[in-house]
Amino acid sequence: MPSSVRKAFVSLTFLVFFSAHGCVNVPRVEQTQEEQAAEKADKLKRTRAVIQTNYGEMEIMFFPEEAPLHVDNFIFLAQRGYYDGTIFHRVIPGFMIQGGDPLTRIAGSDRSSYGNGGPGYTIPGEFNIIPHMRGIVSMARGEDPGSAGSQFFVVVADSPHLDRRYTVFGMVTRGMDVADRIAALARDKDDIPDERVEIKVKIVEIKKRKRK
């Protein structure tokens, strides 16, 4: 076989091989687990929850590094409309406002059951060093440290006695005046407000700033 023909044959063979194996195009590089984790962390840092009430809105930033399970759970529930129509069922001025119980969703339901509802599962405690200062969002729970589910509370005054006993997973960045007004509502002997303050939670993402 002449050398020129042999070279052409070899070139054609390689072209067929690479075409058959999809190697002519630049291969797509898969993300490593570390890169995926970094991307998720960056997204969560820019993720906010907006709690809408008839008294205004509260915007919450999350602490995914300190309480990853609780942050994921709150976002998971909120994105599925779980919190919509529930109320702040426990309000104590100078302390906190609490919500997130599905048993409060129906107006006129048994008020004695408020505070006992949940999503049907629980989350292990992620007690961290973030103090329960004004504006902190933390998870309510029962006597069992791992009994948090869907109920949360917003601290309206520094409450150090809660530190490392309840899981802090977020902080109000806008709308604390809304929390103050809700905390000041008239309430019964069980701290249930006379007025239904229904909530709706939206999850939004802050866009990255473009580099100049």
Q: Is residue 74 part of a domain?
A: yes
Q: Is residue 11 part of a domain?
A: no
DSSP 198: B
Confidence of residue 2 (pLDDT cuts 50, 70, 90): low
For 62-112, the DSSP string reads E-TTT-HHHHHHHHHHHHTTSSTT-BEEEEETTTEEEE--GGGSSTTS-GG
Q: Is residue 110 part of a domain?
A: yes
Please count the structural domains in the chain. Answer: 1
Q: How far apart are CA 85 and CA 56, in angstroms?
A: 15
Buried b vs exposed e over 79-117: b needs ≥16 C-beta within 10 Å? Answer: eeebbeebbbbbbeeebbbbbbbbbbeeeeeeeeebbeb
Q: Is residue 34 part of a domain?
A: no
pTM across the whole model: 0.80
Q: What is the pLDDT of residue 35?
A: 61
CATH of the domain at 135: 2.40.100.10
- Per residue in 13-56, pLDDT tens? 444 444 444 444 555 557 787 666 556 666 667 799 999 999 99
- Structural domain boundaries, residue 198: 48-205
- Per residue in 72-97, pLDDT tens? 999 999 999 999 999 999 999 999 99
Q: What is the pLDDT of residue 46?
A: 77
Confidence of residue 129 (pLDDT cuts 50, 70, 90): very high
Q: Is residue 192 part of a domain?
A: yes
Q: Is residue 188 part of a domain?
A: yes
Q: How far apart are CA 153 and CA 69, in angstroms?
A: 17
| Cβ atoms of residues 156 and 188 within 8 Å | no
Q: Is residue 12 part of a domain?
A: no
Q: Is residue 18 part of a domain?
A: no
In the numeric block, which tokens belong to residue 197? 């303050």
Q: How far apart are CA 168 and CA 154, in angstroms?
A: 10
